[in-house]
Chain A
Amino acid sequence: MDTLTAGDGRREAGPGQGEPGPAARSAGVAARDSYGRLLALLAASTSDLAAAEDALADAFERALRTWPSQGVPRRPDAWLLTVARNRLRDQWKSARAQRAVPLDDGQDAVPYLDDVDVDSIPDRRLELMLVCSHPAIERAVRTPLMLNTVLGFTAEQVGRAFSVPPSTMATRLVRAKKRIKAAGIPFRIPDRADLPARMTSVLEAVYGAYVIDWATGPQDRRLPSEALHLAEVLTTLVPGDPEARGLAALIELSAARAPARVDAGGRFVPLADQDPSLWNQQLISRAHEHLRAAHARGQLGRFQLEAAIQAVHCARGRDGTTDWPALLTLHRILHAVAPSLGSGVALAAVTAEVDGPAAGLATLDALLEEAGEHARRFQPARATRAHLLDRLGRNEEAIAAYDSAISLTHDPAERQYLEHRRDRRA
């Protein structure tokens, strides 16, 4: 919380982007934490994120100007908050004097901000996350908005992650922030009756950072670590929410395997062929802590199930085998609790491992039949179908299925892998 490294206070947004060594990395994480906390607090009273961002950017700028000569204050966050708060108040005053800008409820907020005990800065990031994933905010912009406001990533960084030109992303973010202010979306924890549904959209937006797929070419996939951070923040804000824990575990288990996912030659390595010694044990045990905490609540949910599935896969690192029957049970429950095309395809793939490829193919085809038109463009379904036909020795059909999967695959490493599989059958 009290870390702010040089270069972290760029005008655009708080924390910087370099993450070389572990020390710099943890400094970066701390800076992001403090950025999100300060922004949430500054914006909470007015719902004006843009004004809060400007004020905070000014504070960071002043810190960079004065700290090197005057020394870093004892409580950097409190210092930044005070400076940013004064800046906001100046703006309100000048707006009142000029009468050019209509005043809103912002005035009332001043006493509230003054009341803040800077020694124990309250954390309103959960409210901020609820605002970002509010039903009145367009679904596609929720995750970018969270990355931008809660973690302080610039529009450029977020745009890059989503393969959207930075200025387009910036426009979307600005529009969403205007909407939050204009529509008066409150920084408030909703009523008990509304909370579960609202938490679900918070979780989905965090999940959105994890599933960003794609690249038009080999690109540095940084987002998983950012998704990881977002999920971790959420678990500290709602430690008792089993699904938030489940989501953090899911992202950690998946991130743990990232180093094994591509081989030295840049080729895609499917899960079954991955070398478990390359998996990150620290992330795996952190995920297990979350899962234990989640299960203690006795409330099953989609993300816990997905994490449990990943945990079973990761157990191969311990004893060298995969417990397929356990996976089948978990996939069946998951598909019943939260049915989706993805859960169905995964169920078919696991069915094939337990009951043989013919049973898997039957499950898959039944699913595709039922899902209809849009399932045809679902790449994982195509790829799974190709693998199953391949295993059944139905070579011609397998080759055609590989072709169809390849035509829908935009990731070069995975495409190369599928082409390799196809060519072995040809």
Chain B
Amino acid sequence: MRYALLMHYREPGEGEISEEAIAEAKEAFGAYGRALESAGVLLSADVLQPSAATTTVTCRDGGLRVQDGPFAETKEALAGIFVLEVPDLDAAIGWAEKCPGAQWGVIEVRPTATAFVGGAWTR
């Protein structure tokens, strides 16, 4: 099954996190990524830019509306997405527990409903 591990955490202010701490987090994520890859479960991994860099697009009220900033202002923002292929929720939880982001934020483990693979949405 495909699961998305959605990392949420409070976005740090400018300069709030030292270069050193950033380097350490990079190292931890590096090790995590390699572990996921060596276990053969990783489909994709993206860590997102802060929500200040985000743009929201909608047409639901008629014409196109492009807006600065996130869809919803929340205390903890979506910070990264790992998509894994693992047999079941237990395995997904096992990997979420090892995610460096779990040390300072929360990881939402969400099964994907369908995915576009090989030219079609899977069933």
Contacts and interface: CB of A to CB of B under 8 A. Distances in A.
Contacts of B34: 216-217
Given A164-B103, A377-B93, A410-B98, A216 B35 contact: yes
B31 interface: yes
Given A216-B98, A408-B94, A165 B87 contact: no
Contacts of A159: 24
A166 B24 contact: yes
B46 interface: no
A320 to B, nearest CB: 36
A404 interface: yes
B105 to A, nearest CB: 11
Given A168-B103, A412-B38, A216 B31 contact: yes
A376 interface: yes
A215, A216, A408: residue with the most chain B Cβ atoms closer than 10 Å: A216
User: Which interface class (under 10, 10 to 19, 20 to 34, 35 or more) fits A?
Assistant: 20 to 34
Given A165-B27, A165-B103, A168-B104, A214 B87 contact: no
B88 A407 contact: yes
B91 interface: yes
A11 B100 CA distance: 28
Interface in B1-54: 18, 20-21, 24-25, 27-28, 31-32, 34-35, 38-39, 41
Given A217-B38, A410-B39, A167 B90 contact: no
18 contacts: A164-B103, A165-B21, A165-B24, A165-B27, A167-B24, A168-B103, A215-B31, A216-B31, A216-B35, A217-B31, A217-B38, A404-B87, A407-B88, A408-B90, A410-B39, A410-B94, A412-B38, A412-B39
Given A165-B103, A216-B98, A410-B98, A415 B39 contact: yes
A164 B39 CA distance: 20
Interface in A142-160: 159
Interface of A: 159, 163-168, 214-217, 376-377, 379, 403-404, 407-408, 410, 412, 415
User: Chain A's interface: helix, strand, loop or mixed, by majority?
Assistant: helix
Contact of B87 (A167, A407, A412): A407
B94 A216 contact: no
B15 to A, nearest CB: 14
A407 to B, nearest CB: 4
B20 A167 contact: yes
Interface of B: 18, 20-21, 24-25, 27-28, 31-32, 34-35, 38-39, 41, 86-88, 90-91, 93-95, 98, 100, 103-104
A36 to B, nearest CB: 26
A157 to B, nearest CB: 13
Contacts of B98: 163, 214, 216, 410
B52 to A, nearest CB: 23
Contacts of B25: 165
A420 B31 CA distance: 24
Contact of A376 (B41, B90, B103): B90
A415 B90 CA distance: 16
Nearest to B91: A407
B24 A408 contact: no
Given A165-B25, A166-B24, A167-B20, A410 B93 contact: no
Contacts of A217: 31, 34-35, 38
Contacts of A214: 98
A215 B35 CA distance: 8
B38 A165 contact: no
A308 B86 CA distance: 39
A408 B94 CA distance: 6
A408 B92 CA distance: 9
A216 B100 CA distance: 10
B27 to A, nearest CB: 7
B39 A408 contact: no
B87 A163 contact: no
A410 B86 contact: no
A172 to B, nearest CB: 9
A73 B57 CA distance: 72
A159, A407, A415: residue with the most chain B Cβ atoms closer than 10 Å: A407
- Please list the 8 inter-chain residue pairs (A to B) with the smallest Cβ-Cβ separation, ordered nearest first: A216-B35, A407-B91, A167-B21, A216-B31, A165-B24, A377-B90, A407-B87, A165-B28
A370 B3 CA distance: 29
A184 B25 CA distance: 33
A173 to B, nearest CB: 14
B32, B38, B90, B93: residue with the most chain A Cβ atoms closer than 10 Å: B90
Nearest to A219: B31
